[in-house]
Structure 1
Amino acid sequence: MSELFGSVWWLVVTMGLLVTFHEYGHYVIARRFGVKVLRFSVGFGRPLWMCRGRDGTEYAIAAIPLGGYVRMLDEREGDVPAADVDAAFNRKPPLQRMAIAAAGPAFNLVFALAAFWLMFVVGRPDYLPVVAAPTGVAAEAGMLAGDRIVTVNGDPIDSWSKALQKLGESAVGRRDTVVEVVTATGAETRRTLAFSSLGPDVGERQLFDRIGLSLAPRELAPVVGKAERGKPAAAAGLAAGDRILDINGRAVAGFGDIGTLIAEESSKTPQLAIRAQRGAETLSFEVAPTRVTEADGRSRLIIGIAPPDAHDATLRYGPLAAVPRAFAETWDVTASSLNMLKMIVFGQASLENLSGPITIARFANGSAQLGLAWFLQFLAIISLALAIMNLLPIPVLDGGHLLYYLIELIKGSPVSERVQIAGQYVGLMMLAALMGLAFYNDILRLSF
C-alpha cells in the first residue's frame, strides 16, 4: 500500500507544481494586459479551499488535481458591468489574447529549464553506458560485453539513461541505428542495430527485451553503504563505511558475496560472527539475520545493509556551466517528444506509448525514491509534455485558442460563435478519446 499512497502523493505534488506554474503564466500576462481575473483554480471540480484576494480574484484549490484554469471576465460568458468592459478578455486585441493563451505553455518551458538547471547543479547519479553480454538485435549487430556506447546516430552519450532514451526512440520508430562504441580492449568501432527487423507484433512492453542491451554489473567492494535502522546489522553496531572482512571466518571478496554467505552460514548457526574494518580498527560483531518475504512470495535472510553507491557517471556542473546544459537538455527532450508525437500521428509508433495519470503517478513515485535530481528531471519532462500537449491545435486547449486568434488576426474578424461551439464539442470528444486511450494503456501496464 505504501507504493500506492506514494504514487498518489507524488502525483498530487507533480500536478500541483506544474499546473500552478502553467496557470500562473496565463494569470500574470492577463493581469499585465489589464484583464480582470475572476478565479485562479488549481484542480477541477468542487473547491476544497478558496479565498478572495484584494484584487477581487478568487484563489481556489479544487478536488481533482489533474488540471486547472484561470477564468477571466468575458462578455461571451455573461453580463459585464459598463465600468469593467475595458477589462474583459474578449475586448483585448488578438495579439494580446494570443500572448495570454501562449503564456501557460511558455511558463511550463521556463519551469523545465529551471528544473534541468537545478538537476545539473544538484548532480544526477547515473551509470557509464557499458553493456553486459548482449542478446537480440544488439547481439546480431555484433555488440560485445564491455562495449561502452559513445554515440547513438551521432548524438553524444554520457550516461546509461541517455543511451536508453536514444535507443528506445529509434527502436519505437523501427529505424536502423548506428552506435559508436569503445570495446573492452580500447578499440573504437561502429555497430548498426537493425531495428527495422522488429515486426509490428513487438509491443512497448517487449521492446527493450528485443533490443537486448543491459547494464554491465559493477564490482562493488564489501563496504556497508547504509545500515538500516531497526535491522540486525545496525542493532549489532555495524555502520555505513564499515568494510566487511569475513563472515564466520569465510573471507568476503565483494558485496555480492555477503548475501550468499549469510544464507549458507545461517543454516549452520543462527548467530553470525562478522569481522569488519572501521578506519584503522578491526571490529567483531554478532549478528542474527532475519527472514523477509519478497513481493514475489520468496523469502530470504538479511541483516539489513545496503551496498555502497555504484554510480560512476554523476552529471554535475557548477551554476554557470549548468545553464547551457539545461538549454541543451530541454532542446533534446523537446525534440524527442515531438518526434515521438509525429511517429504516433503517422502510425510509425504504437498508441501504446500514450500514458495517463496512473503511469505518471508511478513514475513520479519511482523518480522521487531515486532522489531529488531524478525527480527534478521527471518534473522537467512532464512540464515539457504539458507545454507540447497544450499547444496542439485542439479546441479547448491553448493551441486551439491560438488557432482561433490567428484566424481572427488574418481575416480581421473573430471566428463565428457557431464555429467556436462546434469546435468545443469536437475538442472535448478528442480529449475524451485520448484520455480514455491513455487510461486503457495505464490499466494494461498494471497487469504486467
Structure 2
Amino acid sequence: MNYIDNILFAILLCVGIGYFAMNVKKLIRNIKLGKDVNRKDNPSARWKNMAMIALGQSKMVKRPIAGFLHIIVYAGFIIINIEVLEIIIDGLFGTHRVFSFLGGFYDFLIGSFEVLALLVLVAVIIFWARRNAIKLKRFWNSEMKGWPKSDGNIILYFEMVLMTLFLVMNATDVHFQANHSGNVISQFIAPLFSNFSVESLHVIERTAWWLHITGILVFLNYLYFSKHLHILLAFPNTYFADLNPKGELDNLESVTNEVKLMMDPNVDPFAAPANPDAVPGKFGASDVQDLNWVQLLNAYTCTECGRCTSSCPANQTGKKLSPRKIMMDTRDRLEEVGKNIDANKGIFVDDNKSLLNDYITTEELWACTSCNACVEECPVNISPLSIIIDMRRYLVMEQSAAPMSLNAMMSNIENNGAPWQYNQQDRLNWKDEN
C-alpha cells in the first residue's frame, strides 16, 4: 500500500469517526433536555444489571429462538470487530495482517472470526425471513410501516454485506490461503476464484478490504439514525434503569411539597410567594422536556423489537395502545425538538406542537392497565409505563381531562372517603346482608 492509500485511509477514518462524534454530542444534548433524576444509588446492583442484561443478554433468551440468534449476532459484532483494530493499523501504516506475528493464536482468532461470520450470516438471513417471509405479527403493527420497516431490513442487509466482504477478503488473500491455517470457512470460498490471476485476486482482496472498513464506518454513523443505537445505549440504559419494584410509582416532588405545606400548621396560607416571578412547575408531562433524562435515554435505546407490544393486554384486546409506539413517538418528538434547537442556534423556539396529542393520543394513554408487562418484557429495561403515567398525570392535574369513570371515582373518594358511591355511614351495611 503506498502513501496515498495511507492518507486516503486516514481521511476516511477521521471523517467517519468525526461525524460519529458529532452525532454523539447531539445525542447527549438531546437526552440532557430531560429533567434531572438521581440514578446513582446502589451502584453494585446497577453494575450487575448491566452485566446480566446488556452484556449477558439474560432477558433476550426468554424467547429462545430469537434470543439464541441474537446472541450469535451480538457475539459476532463484538468479537469480529476486534479484527477492525488490525485493519486500522494496516490502513494507517501500510502493513498487511500486522497481528500475524502472533502465530498460532492469530490463526485461531481468524478462524474463530470466520466461523462467527458464517453463523452471523445464517442468523441474519433467518431474522430477515422471520420479518419478511414468515411475517411475525409484532413486526407488522401499524407503527412499523415506512421508515421503521425499512430500517429493520437495511440493518440486516448491512450485516449480510459486511460478513460476506470479510469472508471474500480472506478467500482472495493468496498468502493467507497458502498458509492453510485460520481459513476454516474461506477455504471453501476460495475455489470460486480459482480461475483468477494473482493480480486479479489482489484487486478483489483490496476492494473487499476497502469496502469492509468503509461499510463499518458507514454502519457506525448509521446507528444514530437507526433503532440499532441500542447496540451502544443498552449498557447505560440498563445501568440507570429504575431499581424500585415494578408497580411502585414515584411521587411527584411538587405534589409532595404542596401536601407538606398544607399539613404544616406553622405555614401561613395567605403569605405571598417567596418568588412571585417564578414560573410554577408543571404537573406531569405533555412534551419531551417534561420527562426525565432516563426516559429520554429509554426512547433512544428502544430496539423496536415489539416484545412489549406483543405482551400488552390492552393491545391484545384490540386497544389502540402500543408501548413500542410510545417509545418511538417519544424519540421522534425528541429528534424534532433537537432539530428545532439546531435550526435556531441552540435555542428551542415554540413550534406549537407537543408529544401529547400531536404524537401520542389520550386514547392510547388511558388504554394502559399499568400492569408492567411491557417493562418486564423489554430486553434492555425500558419503561414505557413511566412515560404513560407522567402524561396521565398531566391530563388529570393540569387539564382535568380524566375519563368520566375516573373522575367519578375521585369525586367519590373526595366526598365519601372511598371509590364507591356510598355514604360513609352506609359503608358497613354489607355485614347485615346475610
**Higher normalized strand content (fraction of residues):** 1
Could you say which TM-score interval applies, normalised by the shorter chain? under 0.3
Q: Larger % of helix: which?
A: 2
TM, length-normalised to structure 2:
0.20
